[in-house]
Structure 1
Amino acid sequence: MTLFKRREREREPASDSTRNKDIGEKTGVSSASPPSDGVLPQYNHNGDEVTAGIHPDGESGRRGFQPIQFFRIIWRSSCAVSSWVNILWPFVPAAIALHFIHGDHHLWTFAINYIAMVPAANLLGFAGQEFARKLPKVAGVIIETTLGSIVEIVLFMVLIAKDNGTGETGPGNKIQVIQAAILGSILTNLLLCLGFCFLIGGIKHKEQKFHAAISEVGSGLLLVAGFALMIPSAFFSSLIGSTVTGGEGYTEDRLRNDTLSISHGVSIILIASFVLYLLYNCVSHDNIFAEVLEADEEADRDRHHDLQKAKLTMTECIIAIVLALAMISLIAVFLVEEIEYVVEHGVPDNFLGLILVPLVEKAAEHLTAVDEAYDNQINFALYHCLGPSIQTALFNAPLVVIVGWGLGKPMDLNFEIFMVVLLIVAILVVGNFLRDGASNYLEGGLLVIVYIIIAVTAWYYPNSELTTSNGRSSTETTGEGTEALVKIARMMMS
């Protein structure tokens, strides 16, 4: 059965009653595109007349904003699991109200805002998905992925704006949290999300095969991005032992300035790499990715149900995106303001950035990816796992460095060696699992286990004011840190 079936229509214009009767009888028949002669209308699978420039799969059959239908579709969300998240909506007004109530309830404020971020991010993800349906396949998936990463960008921007700008370790320094959140976001997508996709999809389908065009390009880009993110840390760790305190020579202040300058340069290069990645996906090789994703849609177990669902109009998509962004921005500000109190009450800042922040910002997107794997759309699921990781490494992380540069904040890419090791090893493990072009529940379970081990270790990792592994506070461990980075470089080259 083909995705779209063309229906022969008579050239003579039909009356309104005859046309409505025909549309009612043609449920399940779709049209790929408007006719070239521009005379006769074309209809999609639901009998809705296709609008020029709108993909038939995304045609809603309505115009403008209809509140009742709008809220009904939003509540339904993209899948059953994602719709369950909507029961958390009462936490959103509660989180906003709690922020303005005076009193010592910082931990409660953080917890309520943390939960409230999930339905708000879910709304943004669903609105992005509805918007993506109306566009060509590859462009739609990339825009959907970009909108899903806006939550992360907003959190990064709020954190860098709240940083005290001194670069000194302490409560006012948010750079450590940002750096941990950058790597934590990549690890969450590569290990937790991809692991659950392989696990759930493997249990349902035993083995799922994916296309090399997605897996090889994704793993290759991640390896390059991991190498680029490692360079400033390697530079700092290898030279900190040779610095002098005061007088002439290569001082620690000069080393920090050089590391910051290297981070600025690497960030600009990474953003250029992201633009190159977009051109590869959307312009030069878009036909390859379109064919892969369209074949994945054919393999969807419940595609016929998905096509028959009511859809948002273009106006409603924009309204939903704006509303979601407004709520996410407010919740992000309230959440960041309580981070200091959470850290003071026993939650390590590395655990906060590496585990807690990425989990809440990616929760809705992960549910969508797992649902796709369950429906045998493993290429879509893989794209939604690797795509956000690539965007975080090539765009979101460099963007916050450049914004910090403009604000005069010493935001750099000098990560803790512990976290750099986690990132590179995770990329190597995932790349090894992607090499054979197939996945099963064993590989998925192993990825989830690796993530749990990282989470347990991050909980016991000390805060930056106590000790560091990249030579910021002590030069006695410099040799070990440099040696660890050399071993990582050798692993990447092999």
Structure 2
Amino acid sequence: MQLFRIKSSGESGRGGIHPWHFLRICFRSSCKASAAINVLWPIVPVALAVRYTLPDDHILIFILSYIAMAPCANLIGFAGQEFARKVPHVFGVLIETTIGSIVEIILFMVLLQKDQFLVIKAAILGSILATMLLCLGFCFFVGGIYHEEQTFSDTISEAGSGLLLTAGVALAIPTVFSHGLPDDSTLTAEQIAHKTLSISRIVSILLIIAYCVYVFFQARTHHGIYHAIFEMDEERDRDGHKDAAKDKLTMTECIVALTIAVTLVTLIAITLVLQIEHVIEKSKVSDAFMGLILVPLVEKFAEHITAIDEAWDNQMNFALSHVLGATLQTALFNAPLVVVVAWGQSKLLDLEFGIFDLVMLLLAILTVGRFLQDQKSNYLEGFLLVTLYVAVAVSAFYYPDPPHAQGASAEGGEGNHGGAVPGEGGNEKFRFF
């Protein structure tokens, strides 16, 4: 029953909901960077209003909705942090990571309903790359500015990097199958598409099972090891005494904050997704850049701020757990989940990516694994990871859109699926990066 007992570090000393305290604590947020984001709250009602008052100004609506997503995601992250403080460390990290992925899941589901399959696939890879390269890079860089060298537990780094590589290989299987068939194969384009789709669905189920085992491993069988690691990190927190003295949300206020934030994120996500096709048509933004860079940056915003703040406070095990946890959540759960949901709706979304996409993903996983190998970090390693992410972003910006019908078929069009859209009598495959 220890799980349901509120920890002293998360005790608010109040009960129910107190509007003034609630607003003041939420606006203060968890750190200065997070509090600065709350200045953007006035844009939220403006973004929702502009959708109806200027419905044809798609680029303006997209920009306002994109900016408005930041404070809403920030509130989800803060409420998740406050909730996580009230339970044991390991459960807290798992809960915080799961709550932080709500924005990503909502965006994936809205994109799925609008049949934006290309953007979904790019966003899956983009989310993994943004968290692994950009977020982890900033954690190393920001922490390395204040500390000459930071250390972290091999338990977290080895388990995380191993799972990342496993997830990357699993995600590559449908693409390797589709592109690895010999040119003289007797299978038609439609048969290849169907078999790739079946493999994707089976792999998705296996990945979800793997994620459940990973959570059980952390929360149950090896809970003591992780708990000791996080306890040690709390002792190293240089701002720990300040955080302990801050007012905290009650459990009821955490739930209210999450409800408000999730509702707003859903409304804004719908508005945002409705503009994507128009923005791609009217601007120089490609499908690849939209899905690989723009969408992941806003959906993972809160988790990035949290992890970077922990690295600044010299809590590298917490920071690494958030980075690796968020990456694994996307690869092992969120991505397979959207494929399974699409399956339930008879939408032909699979896990077939472009060869270049997967090469970038696997190389990024190997690079991060190499940097984690010595259980040490510094600002140089952080700078290199961020530089690598910028290079990927530049290539995505210049990558041309394939000649496709956006969001190819949801309702079982002949021969069409989310990963390959056969041409008129050819066996043409498109890449999404």
TM-score normalised to the size of structure 1? 0.81
Give the match for residue 323 of structure 2: 385
Q: Name the SS of the counterpart of 2:300 in structure 1.
A: helix
Amino acid at match of 2:10: G
Q: 2:135 aligns with which of 171, 193, 199?
A: 193
> Is this contact kept in 2: 1:233–1:413, CA < 8 A?
yes
Give the match for residue 150 of structure 2: 208
Give the match for residue 279 of structure 1: 216
**1-structure distance, mates of 2:81, 2:15:** 18
Amino acid at match of 1:267: S
> Is this contact kept in 1: 2:82–2:248, CA < 8 A?
yes
| Superposition deviation, residue 357 in structure 1 | 0.3
**1-structure distance, mates of 2:428, 2:274:** 33
**2-structure distance, mates of 1:150, 1:302:** 28
Give the match for residue 89 of structure 1: 41
**Are 1:361 and 2:299 matched, yes or no?**
yes
| Superposition deviation, residue 365 in structure 1 | 1.6
Amino acid at match of 2:61: T
Higher-Rg member (1/2) = 1
Q: Within 5 Å, give how 1:302-451 maps onto structure 2.
A: 302-345=239-282, 346-451=284-389
> Is this contact kept in 1: 2:4–2:87, CA < 8 A?
no
> Is this contact kept in 2: 1:240–1:255, CA < 8 A?
no
| Superposition deviation, residue 239 in structure 1 | 2.1
CA deviation map 1:440-488 (0-9, x unaligned) = 1110000000000000000011113279xx976688999xx9xxxxxxx
Q: 1:149 to 1:240 in 2, by over 3 A?
A: farther
Give the match for residue 416 of structure 2: none
Q: Within 5 Å, give how 1:28-427 maps onto structure 2.
A: 53-163=5-115, 174-239=116-181, 241-243=183-185, 249-345=186-282, 346-427=284-365
Give the match for residue 414 of structure 2: none
> Is this contact kept in 1: 2:193–2:420, CA < 8 A?
no
Q: Could you list the runs of 5+ residues in structure 2 that have no partner in the other structure?
A: 406-418
> Is this contact kept in 2: 1:297–1:377, CA < 8 A?
yes
Give the match for residue 5 of structure 1: none
**Are 1:455 and 2:393 matched, yes or no?**
yes
CA deviation map 1:85-141 (0-9, x unaligned) = 000001100111111124421100000000000000000000000000001110011
Q: 1:137 to 1:250 in 2, by over 3 A?
A: same
Amino acid at match of 1:238: G
Q: Could you list the runs of 5+ residues in structure 1 that have no partner in the other structure?
A: 1-32, 35-50, 164-173, 244-248, 482-494
Give the match for residue 487 of structure 1: none
Structure 1 runs of 4+ aligned residues shifted over 6 Å read 473-478
> Is this contact kept in 2: 1:237–1:471, CA < 8 A?
no
Amino acid at match of 2:180: S
Higher relative contact order (CA 8 A, sep 6+): 2
Amino acid at match of 1:344: E
CA deviation map 1:171-220 (0-9, x unaligned) = xxx11100000010000000000000000101110100000111000000
Give the match for residue 415 of structure 2: none
Amino acid at match of 1:264: R
CA deviation map 1:388-441 (0-9, x unaligned) = 000000000000000000111111000111111111000000000000010011
**1-structure distance, mates of 2:250, 2:347:** 42
Give the match for residue 14 of structure 1: none
CA deviation map 1:24-46 (0-9, x unaligned) = xxxxxxxxx99xxxxxxxxxxxx
Q: 1:463 to 1:310 in 2, by over 3 A?
A: same
Give the match for residue 10 of structure 1: none
